[in-house]
Amino acid sequence: MSKIRLTPNASGTGTVTLTVPSTSTDRTITLPDTTGTLLDSSGQGADQWRLTTTITATSATTTYELSSNLERVDTDGAGYLGTGMTESSGIFTFPATGIWLIQFYCAGNIKINDNVGCHIRTTTDNSTYDSAAFADVSGDNSDLGTSTTTAFFIFDVTDVSTHKVRFRTESMDAGSQVLGDTTRTRTSMFFMRLGDT
Helix (H) or strand (E) segment spanning residue 193 = strand 188-195
| Burial of 30 per CB tally in 10 Å (0-12, 13-18, 19+) | exposed
- Of 22-26, 34-38, 133-137, which has the strongest mean pLDDT? 133-137
The percent of residues above 90 in pLDDT, for the chain, comes to 58
Domains of the chain: 47-195 (2.60.120.40)
Distances (CA, A) of 18 to 1, 9, 102, 135: 11, 17, 36, 48
Q: State if pTM tops 0.85.
A: no
Instruction: Measure Cα distances from 123 to 28, 102, 111, 167 in Å.
Output: 43, 13, 31, 12
18 has pLDDT over 90:
no
